[in-house]
Amino acid sequence: MNAHLGGMTNPERPDSPASLPDRIPIFPLPGAILLPGGRLPLNIFEPRYLAMTRDAMKDARMIGMIQPSDPDSAEFEPPIFSTGCLGRIVEFSETGDGRYLIALSGVCRFRVVEELSRDTPYRQVTPDYEPFKDDFVAGDGPQGVERDNLLEVLQLFLEGRGMKADWDAARRASDTVLVNSLSMVLPLTVAEKQALLEAATVADRADTMAALMRMATLEGDDGGQSVQ
């Protein structure tokens, strides 16, 4: 299937760490990362996350996406990585069977300072946005990405899996949109996704992604997944 590279901006996006909440709900979800400016659709059906979404809609509409550090854990509240990304609910609808269909727009990454005691069914943390304050200034200009190399490796990676991409859209996209979109949709492992999330800059993320795709192509590991 095709990778979608559009829809990466939000006019209501906060503009500094000071504008962000100091207590946030978190949604631990393996294999799903959100990056600043990215857009993540979610199908919410578990009761604790339905409650989380309702509460978020009443407040700042903010949810922290984070991956469990042990995706195979059977714990109800598995351990989590120390870094996630705050998202703002920019789309919301309710289905006839009680599910919520939402879309998050990535705002800023955060480090977990501590997990908080709470009386809600969902988990909450104190976030530290300061290490990622540059998330607000990356912009859509050139980010030092070696685009020709990245697109060449991407083509080999997708061809090895029988997958396609919209190459015209890929070439038109800014460095930030291209790299962050691909980081979110490529079929990679939880650890690989986390490495992309934690990359310091867009250029670093592109280099990491190219290395991961090159390694997977050489190993011939198709993962049995597709780009949405």
Beta strands 100-115 and 124-128, pairing class: antiparallel
pLDDT confidence of residue 117: 95
Pairing of strands 24-28, 62-66: parallel
Q: Tell which of 108, 136, 164 closes a domain.
A: 136
Distance CA 8, CA 176 (A): 9
Average pLDDT over residues 192-216: 96
pLDDT at 55 over 50: yes
Is 5 a residue whose pLDDT tops 80?
no
pLDDT in tens, 96-138: 999 999 999 999 999 999 999 999 999 999 999 999 998 887 6
Weakest-pLDDT range from 12-21, 81-90, 163-172: 12-21
Global confidence as pTM: 0.86
**Using CA atoms, how far apart are residues 28 and 1, in angstroms rounded to an integer?**
26
Q: How many Cα atoms within 13 Å fall on the side-chain side of residue 21?
A: 18
25, 124: one domain: yes
Residue range(s) defining the domain that contains residue 117: 17-136
Tell me, yes or no, whether 126 and 28 share the same domain: yes
Domain presence at residue 11:
no
Helix or strand run (H / E) with residue 56: helix 47-58
**pLDDT tens digits along 68-85:** 999 888 889 999 999 999
pLDDT of residue 1: 33
Type of residue at 186: L
Give the tens place of pLDDT for each residue, 30-43. 999 999 989 999 99
Domain tally, the chain: 2
197-212 average pLDDT score: 96
- 92 exposure class (CB count in 10 Å sphere: 0-12, 13-18, 19+): middle
Does 5 reside within a domain?
no
- Whether residue 203 contacts residue 147, with contact meaning beta carbons closer than 8 Å, is answered with no
Which of 107, 136, 165 is at the close of a domain? 136
Residues 104/167, Cβ–Cβ less than 8 Å: no
Q: CA 126, 132, 138, 142: dihedral to nearest 10 degrees?
A: -140
pLDDT at 11: 44
- 100 within a domain of the structure (yes/no): yes
Which residue among 117, 136, 155 closes a domain? 136
Q: Do 25 and 93 sit in the same domain of this protein?
A: yes
Instruction: Give me the phi and psi of 13, to 5 degrees please.
Output: -65, 130
Identify whether residues 131 and 158 lie together within a single domain. no
Residues contacting residue 28 through CB under 8 Å, at least 6 positions apart: 66, 67, 68, 77, 78, 80, 123
Give the model confidence (pLDDT) of 139-171 as tens digits.
677 789 999 999 999 999 999 989 988 999 999
The pLDDT value given to residue 138: 62
* CATH number, position 55: 2.30.130.40
Pair 94, 198 in one domain = no
User: pLDDT at position 225, please?
Assistant: 41
* More reliable by pLDDT, 26 or 10: 26
Asked if 198 and 167 sit in the same domain, the reply is yes
The mean per-residue pLDDT over the stretch 22-28 comes to 97
